[in-house]
Structure 1
Amino acid sequence: MTEQTERVALITGGSGGIGRSIALRLAEDGIAVAVHYSGSRERAHDVVDRIHGIGGRAITVSGDVADETAMAAAFAETTERFGGVDVVVHTAGVMPLAPIADMDLAVFDEVQRTNVRGTFVVDQLAARAVRSGGAIINFSTSVTRLQPPSYGAYAASKGAVEALTLILARELRGRDITVNAVAPGPTDTPLFREGKPQAAIDAIAGANPMQRLGTGADIAEVVSALAGRARWINGQVLYVNGGAA
């Protein structure tokens, strides 16, 4: 049975961190949300429960973002349940860190597979599915500007994401679909905190002109604008980092 709704968003990586904040924010905007997950089923269902709790509409979908068959099924399920797709927010990614000289090439390949191929797969499907008046929002990182040691593989993958974003914006000429990338700075999520001592986290927060880390809500506010009324922003990389770079 298809549920009728005004607008629909599919959010990859919507089960945790920044993706979770975005899912909740778009639900507050009255958008029906498909919360995508790969390995965090319980967290994805928790996000859906929270959206239902505020009177919103949401489902979970799953799949490896780099697997075109799995992601095609996620798009199809979203369309079947809600009638179409208007907004795709692609937050899913991985960030293993190591100096370039030391990184295992198998790890490097996995970063590129998830972050680059995953973006290509999701963007390809989004380009076919998103309705006129919609938005495709990819995720890059302010690391492409900050360029700290040990982030070589991750920064390389996100440089590719930015290139794909700008090219797709031009390829969708005439369809009234915006394509942008959001590039957060250090944001207080479990992924950011993983493996870092508190002293290092405090130092990173203190180095920001705003004297704090970003929050999921900070990032979600920008995504809300791009998904909604900010129609004159297209083919851009937005650095959302409190002035860190």
Structure 2
Amino acid sequence: MSQIKIDSSILSHSANKTVLITGSARGIGAATAALFNHHGANVVITDLAQFQDAAENLISSTFTNPQRAIFVSGNIVDWAQLTSCFKVAIERFGGIDIVVANAGIMESSPVLDVDLVDVNGELRENTEAGRVIDVNLKGTLNTLRLGLFYMKQPRSTTSRPCKSITLVGSTSSYFGGTGVTAYVASKHGVLGLLRASQSTARDLGVRVNGIAPFLTPTHITAGFSQRWKEQGLEENTPERVAEAIALVALDEARQGDCVLVAGKYFRELESSRMSLLPTWIGADFAEFMGRAMQFFISIGGYVLPKAY
């Protein structure tokens, strides 16, 4: 797995594009919004209404081109609200070129807690798990679908898709030993969306890629990020992740990639995984899997069962 070099010149391709970023009033989303705006993009900051002041302060105090930015409140789990965000963006800037599905949360209490019982000693439902999965997975799916709908283009065999969606996953999309069960499960789901969306995205003329940031100092990691730094472990920054997001969003050669970013480490994961597949599952089974995939392609995709 080789190191990817960031070509900073690609950021100039942001000029005059319109970028909608969910969860972008703070953290990685805010750094990404500022980066795109600095390089001439129109930026639509989409976040919960409670973060309006933070978003407006970000625009007025940080953005190079504040006249090219707006805040639109919306909850990514609420279909009507998120649809409205896309419509407002199009009304203001005439269209959308890039969508970054960045919004995400982590549980604030252990979701596998078997001591969470009622007065009768019966195990209670853990609603925290549902909240995390709703935001991280359902919300990302909502963003992906709306992005595909509003950016779809006639399929062309002569040019690469110029519009793109970037799904913000995590290294927890690939690894799961940290104990944050709902977060890990939901970020595995985001990786599943990345892989499962490729055929549809190609048909619609949209590139879909992913980002897998390692621990990044934001409000999610505030409880231990200082101790991490004191241990001398490789430090990520929101700005470094923003660079990675911009790279996959703007590089028209990228389709179905997922880039790990952890400070100085910057690696593409999906192509590496595919190249290692014969070693992992055996060359014979890899060959069988290839034939099986061709079967599904030949019949027009997975034949869905009837609803019940």
Aligned-pair identity (%)? 27
Query: In the alignment, what sits opposite 2:90?
Result: 79
1:183 is aligned, of 185, 203, 212, to 212
Q: How far off is 1:33 after superposition?
A: 0.3
Check the 8 A contact 1:186/1:214 in 2, yes or no. yes
Deviations 1:42-88 (A, max 9, x none): 11111222465446500001111011100000000000000011100
Runs of 4+, deviation exceeding 6 Å? none
Query: In the alignment, what sits opposite 2:101?
Result: 90
Gap regions ≥5 residues in structure 2: 1-14, 115-124, 154-161, 268-308
**Cα distance, 1:197–1:83 mapped onto 2, change above 3 Å:** closer
Q: How far off is 1:236 after superposition?
A: 2.0
1:239 aligns with 2:267: no
So what's the TM-score if we normalise by structure 2?
0.70
Deviations 1:196-233 (A, max 9, x none): 37334533xx23xxxx31111101111112222x1111
1:120 aligns with 2:148: no
So what's the TM-score if we normalise by structure 1?
0.87
Check the 8 A contact 1:86/1:131 in 2, yes or no. no
Q: CA RMSD in A?
A: 2.2
Deviations 1:13-38 (A, max 9, x none): 11000000000101122110001111
Check the 8 A contact 1:34/1:78 in 2, yes or no. yes
Query: In the alignment, what sits opposite 1:199?
Result: 227
Check the 8 A contact 1:98/1:150 in 2, yes or no. no
Deviations 1:141-168 (A, max 9, x none): 1123442332111010011111112222
2:186 is aligned, of 123, 134, 157, to 157
**Cα distance, 1:142–1:97 mapped onto 2, change above 3 Å:** farther
Query: In the alignment, what sits opposite 1:28?
Result: 38
Deviations 1:171-193 (A, max 9, x none): 12244321011110011223211
**Cα distance, 1:174–1:53 mapped onto 2, change above 3 Å:** same
Give 3-state SS (helix, strand or coil) of 1:44's partner.
Answer: helix
The structure number with the bigger radius of gyration is 2
The number of equivalent residue pairs is: 233
